[in-house]
Amino acid sequence: MNRRFQDLNLSNYFLFAAAAEDEETSQLLIETLLGVRIGRVKVRIERSMMFSSDFRSLRLDVYLSDEAQVQYNLEMENRGEEELPKRSRFHQAQMDVLGLRPGEEFAALKPVYVVFICTFDPFGKGLYRYTFENRCLERDFALGDEAVRVFLSTKGTNDGEVPEELVNLLHYLEDTTDAYVGRVDDPNVRKLHGRVAQLKQDRDMEAQYMLFEELIQRERKDAAKETTERILRLTVLMVGAGEGSQIERLEREPEFLDAMLEKYHL
């Protein structure tokens, strides 16, 4: 059963994107999550839902640029997946392509930050923040391409190594309640909570959320039906080809399933 709009935590894709549409809120998020000070930002929300037959979650991306034209891609992640590092590489590539006009020199590329906010620990090291840049392995110096990828985790344990404001904000994402805000003396969290409270009182926003959830459920049902039909066709073809004894492997071994679907052009 879907949660009521008023009961959502900020880790919810829709609510996070709705809050981040406000430029002041996005600036607060970037400054707290990355520990930097930036000027006013311009925000663009990518609302398109992206699904595949193996039920990968939708993505609601938040794209920002500040007064220095530094580009930021902010994304909420609630499902752990092994492909997250390569997804961050793809996001960076997309931003670079959009950031360079035909005929412009490469020097025109602005710094980019790809930021994933995870409600799980993406690397299992217990950190609240993982920051990556391209470096020379032989002499340990930065490449200088001004591309940074940051993974934040609400499950961090290294409280003494990061600012308290970061820890408070990451915990607030999963406990977006009056009670939590009352337990922490943090003006950033209070300010963000005020924005969230306004959104939860907005009837139009609630209606958009309900429609969004309906579309998600419909897409998932269609994807599940399509997957079931493909597997049924596959088992018939495998039996006809004398491979019926291998059918039990389809459920146990995802790689084998993918290989068979490709073999039989499904």
Q: What is the pLDDT of residues 159-199, one digit of tens each?
A: 999 999 999 999 999 999 999 999 999 999 999 999 999 99
pLDDT of residue 54: 39
Exposure letters 43-71 (e unless 16+ CB within 10 A, then b): bebeeeeeeeeeeebbbbbbbbbbeeebb
Tokens of 250: 């389809």
Average pLDDT along the chain: 87
pLDDT confidence tier of residue 233, bands split at 50, 70 and 90? confident
Q: Tokens standing for 128?
A: 């609240």
Prediction pTM value? 0.78
Compute the average pLDDT of residues 134-148.
Answer: 95
Whether the pLDDT of residue 57 is over 80: the answer is no
Q: How high is the pLDDT of residue 97? A: 84
pLDDT reading at 55 higher than 90: no
pLDDT of 145 > 80? The answer is yes
In this prediction, residue 50 carries a pLDDT of: 39
The pLDDT > 70 percentage for the chain reads 93
